[in-house]
Amino acid sequence: MTETHTGSCLCGGVAYEVDGPLRAVWGCHCRQCRKTSGHHVAATAAPAEAHRLTAEETLRWYRSSAGAERGFCGRCGGNLFWRRVGGATISIFAGTLDAPTGLSLTRHIFARYKGDYYDLADGAGIFPESD
């Protein structure tokens, strides 16, 4: 039996399902993630073909750089996804998943750009740039 994970934004205008396992959660501290989330992003990932939208009426995509875009809800403002244009995976913001997830935070990427108001002391691997 394939495991299925579900999730949504705060208002439910965007909802999704993911079939199969999810990658461990990574904290991203890059400037773009901090600016779009208000802190840092904690995200898992899955193959794009394993991800399907079950509600998308309010889904909007923002092209945040030449090679990537971010999915969010146009009604409640919830940040949900990050993907490379044409990429094979989609990053899913961990807080949008329904519990239980069975996931844990295993690494911090772009840690050299983290905010000065917090420490990374949770025991997860720390990478100054990406992994």
pLDDT digits (tens, 9 = 90+) for 28-47: 999 999 999 999 999 999 99
pLDDT digits (tens, 9 = 90+) for 83-120: 999 999 999 999 999 999 999 999 999 999 999 999 99
Domain range summary for the chain, segments of one domain joined by +: 4-115
Fold of 4-115: 2.170.150
Rounded Cα gap, residues 43 and 80, in angstroms: 9
Tell me how crowded residue 15 is: count the other CB atoms within 10 A of its CB. 19
* H or E segment to which residue 45 belongs: strand 41-47
**Top-confidence residue, 86 or 2:** 86
What pTM did the predictor assign?
A: 0.94
